[in-house]
């Protein structure tokens, strides 16, 4: 009996798909079996760990809540010690209730864990009950004045009446001996001196009590012992004068009233001094305030005990986490072994697949490729189709004709891609140049004009940096749609690169025909654009060149429009400018300056000059401002107005800043060492630096690492910087301030920032521009403005620096208005670090 070889033994073996399916099923079944074993292992282990992790997470959250509630209760208790108001007592009662609930939750959470330490949680609840009782006793003591401050009764019941009687007797004696006699005048002077001494004694005593309660905490206040010595000194002088008066009046046989008054003063003085010594002893004891003593001896130990137990629970949770991680690691090892087994089986499958493909796929494809080459050479009628018993080979031959059709379509699509921008679908630079060249040929033959607009979006990079390239791409699409909608069908709008667009206007009669269209384009671009919940407001700068008036070459006309566009940007952006011949010269000079600046950066020609800033009232040094200068080899020392914009626009400021910061910090350390105190240095930052993540990250790393000493760096930004979108810069400034840097707003009053920036940004210092300061002593308007600025800054808890102080009249005005610091040639000129700096202590302006 013959076997039928044309019929497969199993269904589907006559195709690649069928044979692959059978092989895949066999290998897949083996892999599934191994994977199931691994999955079972992982599942049984991870379910237990996940349950433990969930319980521990809940317990950690409750534990953190308990620690927070405990801290809140202690804070409210400290406030009650200062002022026992009813609201604080209610807050403590509420906090104790909340803490009780939290500890109950903690107990339940710990009971779910294998080693939950629920006994510690129960002990915490017992501590809480003890804490409630002791806090109640403490509040009771604080509200009872006698119990709170034992010396109060002695001061009110005895010392105060003695004081009043002494003052009354002194006034009576002055009244009794009123006379114009010279001897009597001496007696009156003695009585006045005694009155001043007595008032000095009682005044110093009140200051001792006030300082003991912390009412006056200035560093200049004398120590209590010094004030006690002052009181005793006053007392000795007082009793000395009293004895002199007693002797005098006894010798003069004065009437009884005077003698009795002097005796009463002596008795009250001695009683007052005895009470004073008693109060002094009470004030030096630990129990001079019972509430503080009770807090220290009774309440604080309970707080510490509860915190220690909470720490024990926290440590226990961390230990359990480590044990779970160990068990998960072991599970991962077993899983790795399972994966290794599956990898070996996968390698075996690849070897088998290669042998299978070589026999059943590669050879049939080689035969098919030969047939396709014959068809490609034009021998379609005589081409021999490859023979195969697999369906896929036959399908491959049938797909050839379809492939030819698709190749033609793709060729057309590629041609479109070559000449159009992929993002906006506008003509690209290649197609635009071709159309511009064609338009110029027509214009020269027909004696008509061609207008070329070169448009660049202002600060488009900022949108990309702050919101991402996807938002930037959507913005370009919207701008392209708006430009296209305003143009005639005969005009061409193209995207040349990035945020640069070009518009070709054919058939114009004069330059003036371009102005309304340019205005229309600028207004259309200024309209708000909503993308991904962001309202964007952008503007554009447009340069216009006219052919054949400006040029007839494609290259030169594009160059002229580009030059005019940069002139529009230079003059403030959001404007259009027609090309003029002198612009080429200015562009060449700008390029030459840029090349010189690049060489200056490489050869380290930029240096810092340092100008002192001092306290307005005392002249004490506050900091130095680092002012950037260009030590040009031919032109000498150049100010920032010459080079700063080019540094910023080209990004060279980023490469320059790091070595300049190191130079400034070296100067700071040298000055701090020389003056034996920390001297701060103030450095100006541009908007580009604030928007550069690399710069911000590097500066923060310097602050964290201690390369920049704490409190030694002040970062200055200008008002114009704030008009840009600086959400990320705000975060950087907040982080820098948290790491010890101070933030200053420079040139206040000259820019476009709103007052809300004083609240939004973390400013420590506000610098008033020199234009407002120079006329304060002759111009009432400027004086009022400066006064208002100082008051406004102080209302926001911001210190004020007045710039450009050059006369003693200006200094006197700023001192009168309470300005904190001054800077200017009156104090010192900017000098190089290697030059000898003027000694601030030698400035005679502040010496009295």
**What's the gap between Cα 448 and its chain centre?**
57
Does the CA dihedral 130-132-135-140 come out positive or negative? negative
pLDDT at 793: 92
What domain range includes position 765?
600-846
Query: Facing residues of 717 across strands?
Result: 745
* Distances, alpha carbon 321 to alpha carbons 53, 56, 328, 481, in Å: 8, 8, 10, 58
Q: Which of 54, 49, 61, 133 is nearest to 102 (CA)?
A: 61
pLDDT at 841: 47
Report yes or no on 315 lying in a domain. Answer: no
Residue 564 φ/ψ, nearest 5 degrees: -65, -35
* Number of neighbouring beta carbons within 10 Å of residue 649: 15
**Both 709 and 842 in a single domain?**
yes
Please state, in angstroms and rounded to a whole number, the distance separating the CA atoms of residues 333 and 319. 22
pLDDT at 585: 64
**Both 638 and 530 in a single domain?**
no
Q: Which of 286, 311, 306 is nearest to 135 (CA)?
A: 306
pLDDT at 633: 87
**Both 678 and 787 in a single domain?**
yes
> Do the Cβ atoms of 154 and 275 come closer than 8 Å?
yes
Residue found by looking up tokens 């891609």 in the block? 417
> Do the Cβ atoms of 424 and 477 come closer than 8 Å?
yes
Report yes or no on 232 lying in a domain. Answer: yes
pLDDT at 838: 57
Q: Which of 681, 692, 682 is nearest to 717 (CA)?
A: 682
Q: Which of 428, 431, 434, 437 is nearest to 553 (CA)?
A: 437
> Do the Cβ atoms of 765 and 759 come closer than 8 Å?
no
- pLDDT mean values, one per 10 residues, the chain (848 residues): 51 64 73 72 70 75 81 77 69 79 77 70 80 76 64 75 87 73 74 87 80 55 74 88 83 74 87 84 68 72 81 77 74 76 78 70 66 57 53 62 66 79 91 91 83 90 78 93 91 91 90 91 92 86 89 88 86 86 67 80 87 94 93 85 76 82 89 90 86 84 84 85 63 89 86 65 91 91 94 93 95 95 93 68 54
**Both 679 and 791 in a single domain?**
yes
Among residues 221, 252, 285, which one ends one of the domains? 285
SS3 57: helix
Residue found by looking up tokens 């994966």 in the block? 339
Among residues 285, 304, 330, which one ends one of the domains? 285
Give the pTM: 0.43
What spatial distance separates the first Cα and last Cα of the chain, rounded to whole Å? 132
**Both 569 and 605 in a single domain?**
no
Report yes or no on 219 lying in a domain. Answer: yes
CATH code, domain carrying 541? 3.30.70.270
Please state, in angstroms and rounded to a whole number, the distance separating the CA atoms of residues 437 and 429. 12
Please state, in angstroms and rounded to a whole number, the distance separating the CA atoms of residues 639 and 644. 9
Q: What tokens appear for 107 in the block?
A: 């107990």
Which positions ≥6 away from 688 have C-beta within 8 Å?
A: 648, 651, 653, 654
Please state, in angstroms and rounded to a whole number, the distance separating the CA atoms of residues 345 and 347. 5
* Distances, alpha carbon 368 to alpha carbons 204, 714, 729, in Å: 113, 76, 64
**Both 570 and 610 in a single domain?**
no
Please state, in angstroms and rounded to a whole number, the distance separating the CA atoms of residues 763 and 756. 12
- H/E element, 800: strand 799-802
Burial class for 238, CB neighbours closer than 10 Å (0-12, 13-18, 19+): buried
Please state, in angstroms and rounded to a whole number, the distance separating the CA atoms of residues 224 and 210. 10
Does the CA dihedral 425-431-432-438 come out positive or negative? negative
Number of folded domains that form the chain: 3
Please state, in angstroms and rounded to a whole number, the distance separating the CA atoms of residues 96 and 77. 11
Q: Which of 311, 355, 373, 331 is nearest to 117 (CA)?
A: 311
> Do the Cβ atoms of 523 and 542 come closer than 8 Å?
no
> Do the Cβ atoms of 458 and 540 come closer than 8 Å?
yes
Residue found by looking up tokens 């010798």 in the block? 251
pLDDT at 217: 46
**Both 632 and 535 in a single domain?**
no
Report yes or no on 414 lying in a domain. Answer: no
> Do the Cβ atoms of 537 and 420 come closer than 8 Å?
no
Burial class for 565, CB neighbours closer than 10 Å (0-12, 13-18, 19+): buried
> Do the Cβ atoms of 579 and 466 come closer than 8 Å?
no
SS3 84: coil
CATH code, domain carrying 653? 3.20.20.450
**Both 609 and 573 in a single domain?**
no
SS3 134: helix
Strand segments, DSSP code E, in 459-617 are 492-497, 500-508, 529-531, 534-536, 540-547, 576-578, 606-615
- H/E element, 625: strand 621-632
Report yes or no on 375 lying in a domain. Answer: no
> Do the Cβ atoms of 487 and 503 come closer than 8 Å?
yes
Please state, in angstroms and rounded to a whole number, the distance separating the CA atoms of residues 98 and 100. 5
> Do the Cβ atoms of 452 and 544 come closer than 8 Å?
yes
Q: Furthest-apart CA pair in the chain: how many Å? A: 168
**Strands 799-802 and 765-768, sheet pairing:** parallel
**Both 691 and 835 in a single domain?**
yes
**Both 800 and 764 in a single domain?**
yes
Q: Which of 711, 712, 696 is nearest to 664 (CA)?
A: 712
Among residues 285, 311, 341, which one ends one of the domains? 285
Report yes or no on 708 lying in a domain. Answer: yes
**Both 604 and 574 in a single domain?**
no
**Both 823 and 688 in a single domain?**
yes
Q: What SS3 string covers 588-608?
A: HHHHHHHHHHHHHHHCCCEEE
Report yes or no on 823 lying in a domain. Answer: yes
Q: What tokens appear for 299 in the block?
A: 């309440």
Residue found by looking up tokens 């911001």 in the block? 798
* Distances, alpha carbon 324 to alpha carbons 43, 63, 68, 327, 538, in Å: 14, 20, 27, 5, 55
Q: Which of 72, 45, 55 is nearest to 135 (CA)?
A: 72
Query: Facing residues of 821 across strands?
Result: 615, 801
Report yes or no on 513 lying in a domain. Answer: yes
Phi-psi region of 156 (alpha: psi -120 to 50; beta: other; left: phi over 0): alpha
Catalogue the long-range contacts made by 116-120 (C-beta closer than 8 Å, 24 or more residues apart).
Answer: 116/59, 117/312, 117/313, 117/316, 120/309, 120/312, 120/313
> Do the Cβ atoms of 568 and 543 come closer than 8 Å?
yes
Which positions ≥6 away from 118 have C-beta within 8 Å?
A: 107, 110, 111
Rounded to a whole number of angstroms, the CA Rg of the chain reads 45
């Amino acid at each position: 009996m013959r076997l039928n070889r044309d019929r497969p033994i199993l269904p589907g073996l006559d195709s690649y798909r069928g044979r692959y399916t059978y092989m895949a099923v066999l290998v897949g079944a083996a892999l599934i079996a191994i994977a199931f074993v691994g999955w079972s292992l992982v599942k049984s282990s991870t379910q237990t760990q996940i349950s433990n992790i969930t319980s521990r997470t809940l317990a950690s959250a409750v534990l953190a809540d308990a620690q927070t509630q405990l801290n809140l209760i202690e804070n409210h208790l400290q406030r009650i010690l200062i002022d026992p108001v009813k609201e604080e007592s209610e807050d403590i009662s509420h906090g104790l209730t909340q803490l009780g609930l939290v500890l109950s939750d903690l107990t339940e959470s710990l009971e779910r864990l294998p080693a939950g330490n629920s006994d510690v949680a129960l002990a915490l609840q017992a501590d809480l009950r003890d804490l409630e009782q002791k806090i109640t006793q403490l509040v009771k003591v604080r509200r009872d004045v006698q119990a709170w401050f034992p010396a109060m009764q002695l001061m009110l019941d005895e010392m105060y009446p003695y004081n009043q009687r002494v003052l009354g007797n002194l006034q009576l004696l002055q009244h009794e001996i009123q006379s114009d006699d010279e001897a009597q005048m001496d007696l009156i002077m003695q009585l006045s001196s005694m009155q001043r001494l007595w008032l000095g004694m009682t005044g110093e005593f009140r200051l001792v009590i006030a300082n003991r309660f912390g009412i006056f905490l200035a560093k200049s206040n004398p120590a209590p012992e010094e004030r006690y010595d002052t009181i005793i000194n006053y007392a000795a002088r007082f009793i000395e004068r009293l004895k002199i008066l007693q002797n005098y009046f006894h010798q003069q046989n004065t009437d009884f009233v005077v003698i009795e008054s002097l005796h009463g003063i002596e008795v009250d003085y001695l009683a007052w001094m005895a009470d004073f010594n008693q109060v002094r002893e009470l004030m030096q004891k630990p129990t001079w305030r019972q509430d503080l003593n009770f807090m220290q001896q009774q309440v604080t130990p309970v707080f510490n005990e509860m915190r220690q137990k909470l720490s024990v629970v926290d440590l226990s949770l961390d230990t359990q986490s480590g044990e779970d991680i160990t068990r998960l690691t072991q599970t991962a090892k077993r899983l790795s072994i399972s994966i290794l087994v599956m990898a070996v089986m996968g390698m075996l499958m690849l070897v088998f697949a290669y042998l299978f493909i070589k026999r059943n796929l590669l050879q049939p494809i080689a035969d098919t490729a030969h047939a396709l080459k014959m068809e490609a050479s034009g021998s379609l009628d005589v081409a021999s189709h490859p023979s195969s018993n697999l369906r896929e080979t036959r399908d491959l031959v049938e797909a050839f004709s379809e492939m030819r059709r698709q190749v033609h379509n793709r060729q057309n699509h590629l041609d479109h891609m070559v000449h159009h921008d992929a993002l906006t679908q506008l003509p690209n630079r290649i197609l635009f140049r071709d159309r511009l060249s064609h338009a110029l040929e027509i214009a020269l033959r027909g004696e008509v004009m061609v207008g070329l607009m070169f448009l660049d979006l202002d600060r488009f990079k900022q949108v990309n940096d702050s919101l991402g390239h996807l938002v930037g791409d959507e913005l370009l699409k919207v701008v392209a749609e708006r430009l296209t909608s305003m143009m005639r069908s005969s005009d061409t709008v193209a995207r040349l690169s990035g945020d640069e667009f070009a518009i070709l206007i054919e058939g114009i009669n004069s330059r003036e025909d371009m102005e309304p269209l340019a205005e229309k384009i600028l207004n259309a671009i200024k309209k708000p654009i909503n993308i991904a919940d962001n309202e964007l407001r952008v503007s554009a700068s447009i340069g216009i060149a006219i052919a054949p008036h400006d040029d007839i070459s494609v290259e030169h006309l594009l160059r002229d429009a580009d030059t005019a566009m940069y002139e529009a940007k230079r003059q403030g952006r959001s404007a259009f400018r027609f090309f003029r011949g002198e612009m080429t010269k200015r562009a060449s000079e700008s390029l030459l300056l840029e090349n010189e600046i690049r060489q200056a950066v490489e050869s380290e020609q930029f240096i810092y000059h340092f100008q002192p800033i001092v306290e307005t009232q005392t002249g004490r040094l506050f900091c130095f401002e680092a002012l950037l200068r260009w030590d040009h080899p031919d032109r000498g020392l150049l100010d920032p107005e010459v080079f700063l914009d080019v540094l910023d626009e080209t990004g060279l400021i980023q490469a320059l800043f790091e070595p300049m910061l190191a130079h400034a910090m070296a100067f700071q350390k040298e000055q701090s060492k020389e003056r034996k105190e920390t001297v701060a240095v103030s450095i100006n930052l541009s908007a580009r630096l604030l928007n550069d993540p690399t710069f911000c990250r590097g500066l923060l790393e310097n602050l964290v690492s201690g390369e920049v000493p704490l409190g030694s760096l002040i970062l200055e930004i200008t008002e114009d910087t704030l008009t840009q979108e600086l959400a990320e810069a705000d975060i950087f400034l907040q982080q820098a301030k948290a790491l010890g840097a101070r933030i200053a707003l420079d040139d206040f009053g000259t820019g476009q920032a709103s007052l809300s920036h004083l609240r939004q940004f973390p400013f420590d210092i506000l610098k008033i521009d020199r234009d407002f300061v120079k006329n304060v002593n002759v111009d009432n308007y400027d004086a009022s403005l400066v006064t208002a600025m100082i008051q406004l800054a102080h209302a926001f808890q911001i210190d004020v620096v007045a710039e450009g102080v050059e006369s003693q009249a200006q200094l006197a005005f700023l001192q009168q208005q309470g300005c904190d610091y001054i800077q200017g040639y009156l104090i010192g000129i900017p000098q190089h670090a290697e030059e000898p700096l003027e000694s601030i202590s030698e400035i005679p302006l502040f010496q009295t």
